[in-house]
Chains A and B, each alone.
Chain A
């Protein structure tokens, strides 16, 4: 698909007729139109003459089809007669689609775009108008500012020095294992701790976290001296990193870490099965508790600089719109992961162009993109959830829409597979298969995209075009769940240097990507593309033995 070379929102060049019109009439037509512009709370704009409720064609009196409002003489023509109108009058080339408030060139018989027109239309919407400073450029030009392009790492196709057997046996052949990349080591199950092992495997290879601990930024010696409190999750995590990246291959038992974590999350301390997502959150929380104090000492405001937040934290935007007056109130909330409901629409994306598809057919697959669409779709809040509107000064029916204001370095997407019904007090697991991509572009889910789409095909700069955000992600790890709510098993698939590895507690094996694609994903870790390839490069230049030395020197562990 697409538009690698085209920025998502370019200002299309005006046709000659539009240019001529602008030269001759300037903004007069647009300004006189403003009194007819009517907007609905959900972003639709149309032209409406309060005197004539039903628009009719000046030529044929018809009231069906599309109507075009001539910007020169204000007459209205239906699509059958608009050409006639243009041919019988000189220069009446540009019109406005009445139902959509969009520009139309009669001669070109096509839609045209003008940022100044869109600005005139947008000024009628009740949104927070940003203070857009004009630096001489038009809105369209400013919007065209290309996002910072990648620094050219490209797709790194690493050649493996040694080829291990595809169906590598488990404990038998240590030599086969020695050709695995550094940092792959099984984790023993200490009693239903697969929920912990699976998340740890992903975290061990998340670039920001991995660099942080392998470069000894949390030094256990210093930490022990600094604080009296013996409990320190980051220290124990550092211990795991040391052990896993030491080059030793026999599976490791993260007992010390488990014990510390039990201290930290006392409510989850048991040998019962736990939820991997819950563990992930508490893990980040544990890191933040300890690191946050140290890292944020000199900063009063601003974002937390602890490694947990630096790696995983982003910002969500929530817009609540009053369905009566259209007033929108916006709030921002930080997140370390995004929980998504499974998209269960009856709809298949396969081969749409080639064969006719009826949405009623049961060939429907849930996709991650579908879930993200669902997440960012406007949601009409029920009439039992009326929210207070500042403008109307009373509770009104509202609509809520989420979007992503800031993306993290590592994006954790959590699929809500465990349903808890308040009515029946029962929980159940949703086993439905979810298709997910290996490469993910988050552009359509950014606040700028979502808010812009709300108002149709407008060329308009909204606050903070996140042109400095990189939106392309590569999959790093997939935590999968199999089984039931009460009795299930977590397995993590890791992608290192373009090879997939299955991490099933103590057993690490190479697998083909088809296995991964077919698995039941529960949590997905996507890494920003640049970071993903850079991290790969960093690790691949070392052979196993020299890596060990490097680690001994740098990490300072015995």
Chain B
């Protein structure tokens, strides 16, 4: 019986927006945005960030980034370095050198969160 329902295309159409919704100029949130907000509101994002910090310190990633900054500042001159410079310098290298084990652990945590938050 349920197979029939799923085969009917009409079921899968997005619901017709109610009249009131047109007046309120609200941006429709994407799925990703919903998750993000839920992560922040529940405090889980903060906990995940803390975990990430810990792991990145443990494996020496942060020291590596510090060394990069120092080398850059020495070359460019201490007073000629801005925050933007450093962000631009570090972002590609930093992202690329996060250990796979750390990525895996965080993904696992996020999955558990999603499961428990019943999204």
Taking chain B's interface residues, is the majority helix, strand, or loop, or is none over half, making it mixed?
A: helix
- List residues 45-78 of chain B with CB under 8 A from any CB of chain A: 50, 57-61, 63-64, 67-68, 71-72
Residue of A nearest to B93 (CB): A356
Q: Which of A106-114, A176-184, A219-227, A256-264 contacts B (4 or more CB under 8 A)?
A: A106-114
Q: Distance in Å from the Cβ of A357 to the closest Cβ of chain B?
A: 7
Q: Which residue in chain B gives the minimum CB-CB distance to A53?
A: B41
Q: Chain A residues with Cβ under 8 A from B40's Cβ?
A: 53-54, 63
Asked if B58 contacts A109 (CB within 8 A), the reply is no
Which of A341-349, A401-409, A511-519 forms contacts with chain B?
A: A341-349
Query: Across the interface, do B82 and A356 meet the contact criterion of CB distance under 8 Å?
Result: no
Q: Could you tell me if A359 and B61 are in contact, using CB atoms closer than 8 angstroms?
A: yes
**B41 & A353 in contact (Cβ 8 Å cutoff):** no
Residues of A within 8 A of B37 (CB): 54, 63
- Given known pairs A63-B37, A347-B64, the reply for A356 and B100 (CB within 8 Å) is no
CB of B97 within 8 A of CB of A377, answer no
Is B11 among interface residues, defined by CB-CB distance under 8 A? no
Do B97 and A359 have beta carbons less than 8 Å apart? yes
Count of B residues near A, CB < 8 Å?
A: 25
CB pair B59–A356 under 8 Å, yes or no, is: no
B89 → chain A closest CB, angstroms: 10
What's the dominant secondary structure at chain A's contact region?
loop
A360 interfacial contact with B, CB 8 Å: yes
Q: Closest CB of chain B to A181's CB: distance in Å?
A: 39
- Contact yes or no, A54 B60, CB < 8 A: no
User: Which residue on chain A has the smallest CB distance to residue B71?
Assistant: A353
Q: Is the CB of B60 within 8 A of A352?
A: no
Which residues of A are found within 8 Å of B36, using beta-carbon distances?
Answer: 63-64
Chain A positions within 8 Å of B67 at CB level: 349, 352-353
Inter-chain CA distance A346–B64, complex, in Å, is 12
Residue from the list B50, B72, B84, B93 in contact with A109, Cβ < 8 A? B84
Q: Does B119 contact A (CB under 8 A)?
A: no
With CB as the reference atom, state the residue of chain A lying closest to B46. Answer: A40
Chain A nearest CB, measured from B107 CB (Å): 17
Shortest Cβ distance from A13 into B: residue = B79
The 8 Å CB contact of A347, one of B60, B82, B83, is B60
Whether B57 pairs with A377 at a CB distance below 8 angstroms is: yes
Closest residue of B by beta carbon distance from A64: B36
- List chain B residues, Cβ under 8 A from A172: none
Q: How far is the CA of A69 from the CA of B67 in the complex (A)?
A: 30
Nearest-Cβ distance from residue B8 to partner chain A, whole angstroms: 38
A24 adjacent to chain B (CB < 8 Å): no
In whole angstroms, how far apart are the Cα atoms of A111 and B71 in the complex? 19
Inter-chain CA distance A64–B30, complex, in Å, is 14
A346 to B27, CA, bound (A): 46
CB interface residues, A 310-362, toward B, < 8 Å: 345-347, 349, 352-353, 356-360
CA distance A377 to B54 in the complex (A): 11
Cβ-closest 3 pairs across A and B? A347-B60, A353-B71, A352-B67
Beyond A110-B82, A356-B96, A359-B59, list 16 extra A-B contacts (CB 8 Å): A54-B37, A64-B36, A111-B83, A345-B60, A346-B59, A346-B60, A347-B60, A347-B63, A352-B64, A353-B71, A356-B93, A356-B97, A358-B96, A358-B99, A359-B99, A373-B63
Q: List 22 A-B contacts (CB under 8 A).
A: A42-B50, A54-B40, A63-B40, A64-B36, A104-B83, A109-B82, A110-B82, A111-B83, A346-B59, A346-B60, A347-B64, A349-B63, A352-B67, A352-B68, A353-B67, A357-B64, A358-B96, A358-B97, A359-B60, A359-B97, A359-B99, A360-B100
